[in-house]
Structure 1
Amino acid sequence: MAETLTRRQLLAWRNAIFVVFALSGISIASWVARLPAVRDHLGLDTAQVGILIFAMSAGSVIGLIAAPPVMLRVGARAGMVLSLSIVAGGTVVIGLGTSVFSSAVVVGVGLAAFGFGNGSVDVMMNVEGAAAEKAIGKTLMPLMHAFFSFGTVAGAGLGALASALSIDVAVHLAVIAVIIVVSVLVAIRYVPRGVEADDPGLAAPKEPFRQRLVASLAVWKDVRLLAIGVIMLGMAFAEGSANDWLAIAVVDGYDQSNTTAAIIFGLFTVSMTVGRVAGGPVLDRFGRVPVLRVSALLGFLGILAFIFAPVPWIAYVGAAFWALGCSLGFPVGMSAAADTDDPKQSAARVSAVAIIGYVAFLVGPPVLGVLGNHFGILHALLLVLVLVALAGLFSPAARERSRRVRPTVSA
């Protein structure tokens, strides 16, 4: 069906997925922006905040695992609406747990639901994005992930504004929840039926749950997919480590101020977004493997410069190269995982590599913290250097399996 859509319908489909990516980013940044207020209102210490964050992380992993069978059951369109509705519900519960009930348990329940919804929609929007990418005939996944970044910027900005105006956490997060639900209900109208699990030919007859579960787990036997997972592991580890430790490394490693550290982290996020916006045309021109190799080299040189810079400004340039180098790893890994002739396998394959990426995001920062405590945070980043090099070595696994066929569109 996707190949018979008009150009206008194809672009509307693409734009709808852009919105879904942005909504996920807005939700996450809104929570992060109000985390200090939640902590202060509940009187939590650092360890207790860590437990709350673990509830969200656990929910995210469960959502990643649940996404493939949910997609096979209800389809991508309904699945994305359901997942973002759960995100919105969790967001409201977080606000109520903070401002109304003053209960860390209620906030934890909200965060678990919030994480579940974001984990499941992460798989679904990437599978649907890969389908739109294939139908349109252009590399779009990096730009879709750039919209996630745009969403985080918007969410952080709204959170900062709400905090500056002393808007209650519950009110702020309730407004965000309404924005999420209304926006996804409007956007989803432009996602065509008859794609992936929405297609009755793919969804029926329904297989028993046990068979669907076995089919989802079977993808882990695919050696190529596991190699793509290594790429995801290295690049996601590099991105997640920068999110948590780059600013501290600037302060502790180069004796700079907190303000300077914030500026350098801003440079990193801008460079990451630029890399993703520019990545699509570059990938179309040169292909996944050459681009991943160059990206890994840029990331390797950037991290190397950041660790061993004789003067701070070289470290700052290194941070920009670090961001550019790992900006395409996650979206390209998702595209490569979804690159299969069997649409029913796409969700399970994307879920598998997404789990690897999320594990890197979740496990990487604590590991670096332990290493940094013993060897210093700059030396701890040598682990990131090794994993980025490994991602570069495994880049051939992401090679395109087939040429994209330009869709036949009607006027």
Structure 2
Amino acid sequence: MTDTTTLVKRSRYAVAAVFCVHGAVTGSFATRVPWIQEHAGVSAGQLGLALAFPALGAALMMPLAARVSHRFGTRTALRGLLALWTLSLILPSFAPGLLTLCAALLIYGGTAGMADVAMNALGVEVEHRLKKSIMSGLHGLWSGGALLGSAVGTVAAHANLSAQVHHLIAAAVLTVVGAVVCQFVLNIHPEDDEEPPARFALPPKSALLIGAIGFCAVFAEGASLDWSAVYLRDILDSSAGVAAGATTGFALTMTIARLTGDAVVDRFGVVPTVRWSGVIATLGGLLVVLAPHAVLAMVGFGLIGIGIAVVVPLAFAAAGRTGTNASQAIAGVATITYASGLVAPSIIGGIAQASSLTISFVVVTALSAGLAVFARVLATNHRTAPDDVVPR
């Protein structure tokens, strides 16, 4: 029993490192998008089209993650899928035109999605065995990894280092780190008589309901990240520096809330935490909509960040407790949330074009209120943590 407990605790830290590596790839890519655009010779509109392909690739490939884990076991599957993701970072910077860039980003998104499902499913399993919340902290470390990758990318850009060289180095380092930390995650294999999951099975109905909660949170996240600076500039006549501070503040408060969220969940429970998170995010949205000047609006965006921070990690955890296959349910929830993140900026822009950006954030506020109203959807039963299975 002691050996099993030690292995599970060790796996917790290993999975946390995996989340950090995964986030670092995203941060490394994001900072070099201008270089990639210039190298590929694409316009802003063409770049926008190309940047839709990662979400498309993820949506197409995430359902396969469950089958890969079933076939190879959790440790080997995660090691391989994470390596594919870190190495895919190299592809976009070598794309010479629009078609090759779209293809590269399709692969980039597909490998990201499969690794995302595998690491979240393993995180849920570790959470079950520890019998306490860890998913919020894991996603907080993903955000920390993204910030780290962004910081390194910013330095590389200021040093005029090409994205090709930067991403070759980053991919090599992150692939090695990922392979090392994956050695310490739980190695779970299916029972001999267990049927493999279907390649593209639909998620269970319960996962769809959970995904709807995730949709609300990720919609608010995408809208705030992409439009908060524009809101302060266009609606409240703020300077460029002040406007940018709204985006930074939102991302920072969300990261801090995720890193501290597990203690809140363990203290108050999943449903009360999500319900009050929805209330906080709704208050933040109302403050944004009604703010007469920039400072109050920035506080409002910060409250939105705090309010939505733990919802997606808890949605993944709840999905992993439904049905018989955690990866399949998580893939269903992840597909819905990825789609939400993809469409949110466009929908916000469309509403703003038809009416005003203020009305757009009225919609965000309404969706945030939905988190409080429908929080009970996440009240799924925990599976009993196995005491007799020793990870290999």
Q: Which sits farther off after the overlay, 365-374 or 77-86?
A: 77-86
1:62 corresponds to: 60
Equivalent residue number for residue 397 of structure 1? 377
Q: Quick check: 1:5–1:409 contact (8 Å CA) kept in 2? A: no
| Alignment partner, residue 388 of structure 1 | 368
Q: 1:135, CA displacement in angstroms?
A: 1.1
Indicate the residue corresponding to 1:14 in structure 2. 12
Pick aligned residue for 2:156 from 152, 162, 183:
162
Quick check: 2:122–2:186 contact (8 Å CA) kept in 1? no
The equivalent of 1:262 in structure 2 is 244
Q: Does 1:137 align with 2:131?
A: yes
With 286-295 and 35-44 compared, the bigger mean Cα shift is at: 35-44
- Deviations along 1:154-210, one digit per CA (max 9) or x if unpaired, are 0110110000001111100011111221011100110122x2xx24x1xx34747xx
Counterpart in the other structure of 1:183: 177
> Is the 8 Å Cα contact of residues 139 and 280 (structure 1) preserved in structure 2?
yes
Deviations 1:37-69 (A, max 9, x none): 111223321111012112222111112222222
2:239 & 2:2 partners in 1: Cα distance?
57
The secondary structure found in structure 2 opposite 1:190 is coil
Structure 1 residues 373 and 25, CA gap change in structure 2 (3 angstroms): same
Q: Please report the TM-score for the alignment, with normalisation by the length of structure 2.
A: 0.94
5 Å-filtered alignment, 1:11-410, equals 11-97=9-95, 102-193=96-187, 195=188, 198-199=189-190, 201=191, 204-205=192-193, 207=195, 212-213=198-199, 216-217=201-202, 219-220=203-204, 222=205, 224-340=206-322, 342=324, 345-402=325-382
Residues 126-149 of structure 1: CA deviation (Å, up to 9, x unaligned): 110011111112200000000110
TM-score by length of 1: 0.90
Question: How far did residue 234 of structure 1 move?
Answer: 0.7
Q: Structure 2 CA distance, aligned partners of 1:84 and 1:298?
A: 35
Q: Measure how far apart 1:376 and its partner are.
A: 1.9
Deviation readout 1:238-292 (Å, 9 max, x if unpaired): 1111111111111111111121112121111111011111110110111100000
Q: Which moved more, 1:285-294 or 1:378-387?
A: 378-387
Whichever residue aligns with residue 27 of structure 1, its letter is: V
2:207–2:330 contact (8 Å) kept in structure 1: no
Matched positions, count: 390
Following superposition, the deviation at residue 408 of structure 1 comes to 8.9
Give SS of 1:254's match: coil
- In structure 1, runs of 5+ residues without a counterpart are none
Q: How far apart are 1:112 and its partner, in Å?
A: 1.4
Deviation at 1:340, TM superposition (A): 3.8
Q: Is the 8 A contact 2:53 2:102 kept in 1?
A: yes
8 Å contact from structure 1 (residues 4, 408) kept in 2: no
- The 2-side partners of 1:341 and 1:375 are apart by 43
Return the structure number with greater helix share. Answer: 1
The offset of 1:374, in angstroms, is 1.9
The separation in 1 between residues aligned to 2:109 and 2:155, in whole angstroms, is 24
Q: Distance in 2 between matches of 1:302 and 1:407?
A: 43
Root-mean-square deviation (Å): 2.1
The letter of the residue matching 2:369 is A
Deviations 1:57-112 (A, max 9, x none): 21111122222222222232222222222223321222222xxxx33333332211
Equivalents in 2 of 1:331, 1:54: separation in Å? 23
